Amino acid sequence: KTHLEMEFDDDTIIGPNAFHTLPLTSILLGMPYTQERNRLALRTLTLHPDSFLTSSNIRSLTIIRANVNLPGNKFNLNTAVEWLRFIACGFTEVPSEMIESLPNLDYLSFEGNYLRVIRSHAFSPLKLLRELNLEGNGIVSLELGCFDGLDNLEVLDLADNQFSPISGIFNGLKKLTRLDIDNAFGEHQFNFDILQDTPALVNIGMGNNKIKELKPDMFSICPQLTYLSLFRN
């Protein structure tokens, strides 16, 4: 088999070269399921910079419901992961040093974490990234420049957050074709100017954002748009 799934009941350490003899390309590691959303209740998964070095090169890594601890905050640069998901984990900040050590990432997800603020240049080392999922973090602020360096990004999911849609937050995302901003702004009013920096958009989800009026030509800034969702506005 090239895919491995493991579930742990308590705090766990994955040592160096733990999977070295296995011909794996995909690993999923999970902690116990709980209905309670409490970061402090999460079990800790401690990794080593060489934890995911294998002879066959692991391409996909998924970690679910864990406080991830990586001493030194960096993976071995020979780690070949291209697809990385931290689902319902305990991150409160984007682990910039960690993702910098994975420059070949194509897909990155922090779905359901606790990233309240996305700092400027948070993802700038990821020059090859094509898809980024930040859904369900309760984000209250996207700093200007937080998506700098993501020149190849095509898909961005920001649903279920509560940030202010400030003009310029999507600056540089010229290749973005799909944007999910359903229920993304909390009590903030939607600002159509944020779409001026995303001319390649084909698909936009912008439901549940208290949009009360549609004006003529307001989507002309997205000339390639073919799908638009406005449910629950």
Confirm if 136 and 161 have CB atoms less than 8 A apart: yes
Q: How far apart are CA 74 and CA 178, in angstroms?
A: 30
Identify the residue with better confidence: 200 or 35.
Answer: 200
Res 77 pLDDT > 80: no
Where are any strands of DSSP class E within 70-196? 83-87, 107-109, 117-118, 131-133, 141-142, 155-157, 178-180
Confirm if 70 and 96 have CB atoms less than 8 A apart: no
Q: How confident is the model at residue 185 (pLDDT cuts 50, 70, 90)?
A: very high
Confirm if 209 and 179 have CB atoms less than 8 A apart: no
